[in-house]
Amino acid sequence: MKVYLVRHGKALPPATDPAQPLSEEGRSDISHLARTLRNMNFSVELIVHSGKLRAEETAKIIADSINPSKGIKAVKGLAPKDDITEALKIIEAQHGDLMIVSHLPFLEHLLEAMVKPEGSEELPAFDIGNVIGLEKSGERWQVFRHLGPKMIL
Residue 118: per-residue pLDDT: 78
Residue 122: per-residue pLDDT: 85
Homologous superfamily in CATH for domain 2-151? Phosphoglycerate mutase-like (3.40.50.1240)
Residue 150: per-residue pLDDT: 79
Predicted confidence (pLDDT) at residue 9 exceeds the cutoff of 60 = yes
pLDDT band at 153 (very low <50, low <70, confident <90, very high): low
Predicted confidence (pLDDT) at residue 124 exceeds the cutoff of 60 = yes
pLDDT (tens digit per residue) in 32-49: 999 999 999 999 999 999
Q: What is the 3-class SS of the chain, one letter each residue?
A: CEEEEEECCCECCCCCCCCCCECHHHHHHHHHHHHHHHHCCCCCCEEEECCCHHHHHHHHHHHHHHCCCCCEEECCCCCCCCCCHHHHHHHHHCCCCEEEEECCCHHHHHHHHHHCCCCCCCCCCCCCCCEEEEEEECCEEEEEEEECHHHCC
pLDDT band at 67 (very low <50, low <70, confident <90, very high): very high
Predicted confidence (pLDDT) at residue 54 exceeds the cutoff of 70 = yes
pTM, 2 dp: 0.95
The rounded distance, in Å, linking the Cα atoms of 8 and 30 is 8
